[in-house]
């Protein structure tokens, strides 16, 4: 089996930034695009990864879509009083991290030109790791706790 290629993941330049901004706005988040080559404020992993400060998600055209969604979902899972305090690092909670990963896959299904299937493949290509070996296997077989956490916090309907 060939290792996934991280250079093939969808980037912001590959989709409608307006669609991405509209999706984030539904959660009271702002998507701010910085110029090519400029530092990305609040980026935990460094460029080209998305950054977060307060309710703003910072990206460049070369930012992977999965990174933008992941950082946005970190903010979405936080209560407003915690969200306001975020600068770069949103959580050290395993349940919140799992909920973030699950929600980013769900929201990708609502983003034109992306979809959950593509996002899971991009997550694998980028190097997300799960004990079942793939994002899809985790999402379909091992994410009940994340789904339940999101439902309990009003972010997903109960299945």
* pLDDT for the residue 74: 95
Reply yes or no on whether the pLDDT at 129 is more than 70: yes
Give the rounded percent of residues in the chain with a pLDDT score beyond 90.
Answer: 80
* pLDDT for the residue 1: 42
Q: Which has the higher per-residue pLDDT, 17 or 131?
A: 17
Mean pLDDT score across all residues of the chain: 92
Strand partners, 43: 51
Q: Which of 35-39, 60-64, 82-86, 111-115 has the lowest mean pLDDT?
A: 82-86
**Separation between Cα atoms, residue 56 and residue 134, nearest integer Å:** 30
Reply yes or no on whether the pLDDT at 158 is more than 70: no
Q: Which of 65-69, 78-82, 149-153 has the lowest mean pLDDT?
A: 78-82
Model confidence band, residue 114 (pLDDT cutoffs 50, 70, 90): very high
Contact 99, 145 (CB under 8 A): no
Specify the long-range contacts of residues 22-29, CB closer than 8 Å, at least 24 apart: 23/107, 23/110, 23/111, 24/57, 24/72, 27/72, 27/75, 27/76, 28/55, 29/55, 29/56, 29/57, 29/72, 29/75, 29/76
Helix (H) or strand (E) holding 56: strand 56-59
**Separation between Cα atoms, residue 114 and residue 87, nearest integer Å:** 27
* pLDDT for the residue 4: 52
Q: pLDDT of 131-153, one tens digit each?
A: 888 999 999 999 999 999 999 99
Q: pLDDT of 29-61, one tens digit each?
A: 999 999 999 999 999 989 999 999 999 999 999
Give the rounded percent of residues in the chain with a pLDDT score beyond 70.
Answer: 95
* pLDDT for the residue 157: 72
């Amino acid at each position: 089996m060939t290792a996934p290629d991280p250079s093939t993941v969808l980037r912001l330049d590959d989709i409608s930034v307006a669609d991405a901004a509209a999706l984030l706005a539904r959660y009271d988040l702002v998507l701010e695009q910085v110029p090519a080559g400029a530092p990305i404020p609040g980026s935990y992993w460094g460029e080209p990864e998305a950054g977060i400060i307060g309710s703003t998600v910072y990206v460049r055209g070369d930012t992977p879509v999965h990174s933008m969604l992941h950082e946005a979902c970190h903010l979405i899972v936080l209560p407003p009083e915690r969200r306001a305090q975020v600068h770069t690092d949103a959580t050290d909670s395993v349940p919140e991290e799992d909920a973030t990963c699950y929600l980013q896959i769900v929201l990708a299904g609502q983003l034109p030109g992306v979809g959950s299937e593509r996002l899971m493949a991009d997550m694998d290509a980028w190097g997300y790791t799960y004990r079942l070996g793939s994002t899809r296997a985790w999402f379909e077989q091992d994410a009940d706790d994340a789904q339940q956490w999101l439902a309990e916090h009003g972010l997903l309907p109960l299945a």
